[in-house]
Structure 1
Amino acid sequence: MKNQRRLRIVTAEGELRGSMDDELFVFKGIPYAAPPVGALRWRPPQALQPWQGERDATAWGPASWQNRDYCLLAGGGDPGHFSEDCLYLNVWTPDIEPSRPLPVMVWLHGGGFSIGAGSLDPYRGKALAAQGVVVVTINYRLGHFGFFAHPVLDAEYAAGNVVNNFALLDQIAALQWVQRNIPAFGGDRRNITLFGESSGARSVLSLCCSPLAEGLFHKGIVQSAYSLPDTPRAEAQQVGLQVAAHFGLAADASASQLRALPAEAFWPLQRPLALGPVPVSGDIVLPDPMLATFMAGKQHRVPLMIGSNSDEASVLDFFGVDATQVLQQLRRKNRLSYQLIKWIYDIHDDAVLGRAVARDMAFSVMPLLIVKAQHNIGMPGWRYWFDYVSEQARDLYPHGAWHGNEIPYVFNTLESQALPAGRGYSAADYAMAAQISTLWVTFARDATEFSYQLHGEIDWPVWRADNDITLMFGGDAEKPLRLQPRFMRGRLRLFRLMMRSMVKL
C-alpha cells in the first residue's frame, strides 16, 4: 500500500488532505478561484486567497445552481449541493512523485451549459488514472451565471474588454490552476489534454478560439459538439434586459440591483429568458464566433480528436425540437432539397428520416468541418463515429447510440449507468469500454502536432482530404473497431451548404 502520509500535498494556495481509492490518490472539492458571489457575481473569476493549515479535500464541492430533476434525467446523475460558490475541481492521480511527469486530462462536463457537475458518477477518473494519467474534472458557472449580458454590467469594462462568457473564463481559470499546481499531483503541465462532451465539447472548441486560453492546453478531444451558432452579444444583451424586466427591474437598473437578485430565482427561467446552449460571441473571451474562427484557420495550433454518436437526435426532445416537423417544414419550403435528401438517405419514413437529418445537421457535420479546418492549417485531426450499444440493451436503442452514451465507455465507468432490471453489461461491453478508454489515454499521452497516426489495437491515421478516414466504434459485431473511408461524404457535403438555414432551436 502507498504511504497514507502522502495524502497530504502542498499547492500554491495551501496544503490539501485527500483520500485513497484502491491504489489511487483522490482529491475532491479543491477551490480554483475565489467564490463568484455578491459583488463578484458576473465578474471574471478572481484569485483565490491562500489558506493556513490543512484543507480537507475528501468531499465534492458544490455545483452551480441548476434543475436537479433535469440533471438526474439527462445529465448523468445527482449534482449534489448547489451554490453560486461553485468553482471547485477534483483530481485523480496514480502517483504524486512519478519517475517522469504524467499526462493530464481535464474534463469539461456537458449539459447544455445549464446542468451538470464534475463530480457525477460517469465522470469518475479512477479507471483513466489507473492507466497512468492525472485526471481533473471541474465545476463551472452555469445558466445565467455562466453567460450573461446587460448594458449596465458591460459598462463596467473598458472598451474592448467586456466579459459575457463567465463559464469559459472559469474553465480558463481551472486550466491556470492546473498549470500552477498539477506537478504536485505528478502531472506534466506541458502535456494537458482538454476533453468534453456536448456543451463541454463546445467549450473545448471555444477555448481553441479564445486568445485568453492560448498555451494553457496542448490538445483536445471533442465529443458530440453541436453546430448551433454562438449567440451575438447584441442578442445576449436583449435577453439580459428581458430577464431584468422579468424581475421587475427597469432598463436602467444598477449593477448592484442585478447582483442582489436571489441566486435560486434564475435557474427555472427558460427561453426566451435564457441564453444557450452556446457561448456568446463578441466579448474579450470569444471575440469571434467559434466556427468562423475555425473556418478562417485562426484556431490555436493543437491536435484534436472529434466525433459524434449514431443517434444524437435523442437529445433534441430536451430542446423541444420535433425532427419530423422540421423535415416537413423543409418539404413545404424547398421541395427540391427535400427530394434530394430522401434520395441521398434512401429513407422513406419521415419520422426516421427526420431523426437522421436532425442528427447529421446538428452533430455529424461538425467533426468533418473541424478536421478539415485542422488539415487546412497543418494540424492533426482525428474523426470518429460512436455506434456501440450495450449487447443486452439494443432493443432499447433502435436508432443507435444516444447523445452521451459514449461517456461511460470513455471513462470506463459502465456501472455508473445501470441497465434496466434483468439486463447487465456483457464481456463485449467491458472490452469496448477498455478499448475506448485506452485510446483516449493514448491520445493524451502520445498525440503531438507532428503525429500522423495513433498507434494501438488499430493504427488510426490523421484525417486528410485524400483519405477521409473515420474510426468506427460499434455497428459491426465482427469488427467493433474499424476504419471507414469517405464516411457520409455525400450527405455531409450537402449539409455544409444547408447548415446555416436548418440548424436552429
Structure 2
Amino acid sequence: MQNPSAPVVETRQGVLTGFTDENIHVWCGIPYAEPPVGDWRWRSPRPAKPWEGVRPATAFAPSSWQSSEYCQELGGGDPGQFSEDCLYLNVWSPVERSAPLPVMVWLHGGGFTLGAGGLPPYNGKALARRDVVVVSVNYRLGHLGFFAHPALDGEEEQVVHNFALLDQIAALKWVGDNIAAFGGDPNNITLFGESAGARSVLSLLASPLAGGIFHKAIVQSAYTLPDTPRVKALQKGEALAAHFGLENASAAQLRAIPADAFWPLAAPLNVAPAPIAGDCVLPEAMLDVFFAAHQHSVPVMVGSNSDEASVMAVFGIDLAGEIEKLRRTRRFGLGLIKLLYPGVKGDAELGRQVCRDMAFTTMGYVVMQAQQRVGASCWRYWFDYVAEAEHATYVNGAWHGNEIPYVFDTLGQIAPSRDYVNENDLRFAAQVADYWVSFAREAEAREMLPGPTHWPACRKGRDVLLRIGVNKHAGFRLENRFMRARMSLFRRVMKHHVSLD
C-alpha cells in the first residue's frame, strides 16, 4: 500500500484509517484509553478495548467539559464538542520516511480547565514536515481530572487524585506501544507542553509512575504555583459535594453529578491550576522534587516569555497591588527588590516584572539547577519576539502563550495572526520550530543545538540562555547568567510567596 490518500495503520487495538493533508498523513480521535464515564469516573484510565474492522480516524474527538467561550478567547480556539468520554489523541506523520522518526507528544495548556489537542495552533503538519511524528493529547480537565474526596479513598490499590496526569501517562504508554506503526521511534519520544501542559511535563518528570516512558522534555512557560496538598484537596472535595447538597456523600452519589455541572463553578470551588500532591502520581510536590534534584534524568529544554504577567489578570492578581502589599508588610524586601530592578518606575511596572519573574522566569532557573545536579543537559530560552505589525499591541513583549504558533510554525494559518504576519515573521517562526525539532532529534547526542545561533546546553558551571527574539525584534542571542541575582533571590522565597491566596 503506497501512500494512500486514506492511510491505513494497524495498532494493538485494531486498524485505523486516516487522511492525507498534502505530504502528511493524519489520524484524529484515536482512543488511547477506555471512556472514564459512569462507575469509571475518578478512576485510573484503562487501556482501550480492541475493535473489529477498520475504525475511521478522520475527525477530532470531543474534549473534556469546559467553557467554549473562554477557550476561544484565551485557550487557542474552538474546542468543539464536549464529553466526559474524551481520552483520545491525534497523530501527524510524513508520507515519505526512510527510517523511524523522532516523536513529539504535545500536552496543551489552559490552567487544567481549558483546551484540547486539536486546536488550530497545535496542528502538527508543519512540524511533521521536518521529519518528526507529532502527537497531541486530550486529557480530563477540571474536577474530572483532579479530585479528592474521602468517599473515593480505598477504591484502588493506590490513592489517586491526579487523574489527568494518569491520562497523560496512559497516552505516553500508548505511544510507546503503537507509534512505530505510524513511522515513529518509540525510543525517542519528546514530551512538550505549555503553561498547564508544561506543569504536566514537570509533574511527569517528578512522578515515580512516569520513568522511562519519554526520553526528552520541553517545558514552555511553566509556573511556580505550588501543588495543592492532599489534605486541602480533600477539604475542597467535601465542600464541593456539600455545594451539590451531598453531605457525607457516597462515591455513587458523587458520580451521579452531571459531568457538565463542574466546570462553571467559581472560586473557592473551582480547580486550582496545579496538580494535587500526596497521591501515587505525585507523592511529593513537584517543586520539592526539583529542589531536591530527584526528577527523572532526561534532557530538558525550559523557558518562558517576556510578558508572562499578561496572564496574571486571569488569575485575579493585581500587579500594582502586589507591590503595595510588600510596601505595607515587607519594606526591607521591597527595598531589595528595587535594587534588583534598577530604573523600573511605578508599582504597576515593577509588579509586572516581579510577578513575571517570580511566577515564571524562576522556574527555568530551578529546572536548570536540578538538571545540573543530576548531570543531565538543560537548554534555557527567553522568548521575546512580537510580530512586526503588533508591536504597539504587545507593548511589554511576548504574552503568555505567544510562542506556540512559532513552535508549531502555524503562525500563518491561525486567526488572528494570519491577517497581519509578514515574511519576516514567518521566517522567524520557521527558525523557532527548527530549534524545537533539533532538540527532539539530537538532544541526547550533542551539547549544541544547530541554528542561526548555536545553542549550548547548561552543564555544571555553565549558566547560558538563548534569547529568542531581542527586544521584540528578530534575532537570537546567547546571554550568560541571565537575571542571575533575581533568580537566586526568587528561588529562595518563591515557595513562601507564590500562591493564589
User: TM-score, structure 1 length as denominator?
Assistant: 0.96
Shift of 1:478: 7.6
Match of 2:123 in 1: 124
Q: How does 1:73-472 map to 2 (within 5 A)?
A: 73-95=73-95, 98-158=97-157, 161-251=158-248, 253-346=249-342, 347-419=344-416, 424-448=420-444, 451-464=446-459, 466-472=461-467
CA contact 2:386–2:472 (8 Å) conserved in 1: no
Q: 1:193 to 1:244 in 2, by over 3 A?
A: same
Q: 1:478 to 1:239 in 2, by over 3 A?
A: closer
Shift of 1:465: 5.2
Match of 1:54 in 2: 54
Report the Cα distance in structure 2 between the residues aligned to 1:2 and 1:224, rounded to whole angstroms: 41
CA contact 1:371–1:383 (8 Å) conserved in 2: yes
Report the Cα distance in structure 1 between the residues aligned to 2:204 and 2:463, rounded to whole angstroms: 26
CA contact 2:386–2:473 (8 Å) conserved in 1: no
CA contact 2:263–2:270 (8 Å) conserved in 1: no
Report the Cα distance in structure 1 between the residues aligned to 2:416 and 2:173, rounded to whole angstroms: 38
Match of 2:475 in 1: 480
Shift of 1:424: 1.4
* Residue identity opposite 1:27 in structure 2: W
Report the Cα distance in structure 1 between the residues aligned to 2:269 and 2:413, rounded to whole angstroms: 34
Shift of 1:482: 1.0
Report the Cα distance in structure 2 between the residues aligned to 1:328 and 1:489, rounded to whole angstroms: 25
CA contact 2:194–2:219 (8 Å) conserved in 1: yes
Report the Cα distance in structure 2 between the residues aligned to 1:478 and 1:218, rounded to whole angstroms: 33
Report the Cα distance in structure 1 between the residues aligned to 2:217 and 2:149, rounded to whole angstroms: 32
CA contact 2:398–2:472 (8 Å) conserved in 1: no
Report the Cα distance in structure 2 between the residues aligned to 1:325 and 1:5, rounded to whole angstroms: 57
State the identity as a percent. 57
Shift of 1:453: 2.0
CA contact 1:374–1:380 (8 Å) conserved in 2: yes
Report the Cα distance in structure 1 between the residues aligned to 2:8 and 2:421, rounded to whole angstroms: 37
Q: SS of 1:480's equivalent?
A: strand
Q: SS of 2:391's equivalent?
A: helix
Q: 1:335 to 1:417 in 2, by over 3 A?
A: farther
Shift of 1:6: 6.3
Shift of 1:477: 7.4
Match of 1:68 in 2: 68
Match of 1:30 in 2: 30
Shift of 1:498: 2.1
CA contact 1:2–1:23 (8 Å) conserved in 2: no
Shift of 1:26: 0.3
Q: SS of 2:28's equivalent?
A: strand
Q: 1:21 to 1:152 in 2, by over 3 A?
A: same
Structure 2's unaligned 5+ residue stretches are none
Shift of 1:378: 0.3
* Residue identity opposite 1:87 in structure 2: L
Count of residues in correspondence between the two structures? 499
CA contact 2:126–2:410 (8 Å) conserved in 1: yes
* Residue identity opposite 1:369 in structure 2: V
User: TM-score, structure 2 length as denominator?
Assistant: 0.97
Report the Cα distance in structure 1 between the residues aligned to 2:392 and 2:210, rounded to whole angstroms: 43
Judge which range, 426-435 or 75-84, deviates more: 426-435
Report the Cα distance in structure 1 between the residues aligned to 2:459 and 2:98, rounded to whole angstroms: 37
* Residue identity opposite 1:170 in structure 2: D
CA contact 2:102–2:189 (8 Å) conserved in 1: yes
> How much is the aligned-residue C-alpha RMSD, in angstroms?
1.6
Structure 1's unaligned 5+ residue stretches are none
CA contact 1:380–1:451 (8 Å) conserved in 2: no
Cα offsets for 1:14-69 (capped at 9, x unmatched)? 11010010011000000000000001000000121100001010000000000111
Report the Cα distance in structure 2 between the residues aligned to 1:373 and 1:3, rounded to whole angstroms: 45
Report the Cα distance in structure 2 between the residues aligned to 1:156 and 1:322, rounded to whole angstroms: 42
Report the Cα distance in structure 2 between the residues aligned to 1:477 and 1:343, rounded to whole angstroms: 25
CA contact 1:393–1:419 (8 Å) conserved in 2: no
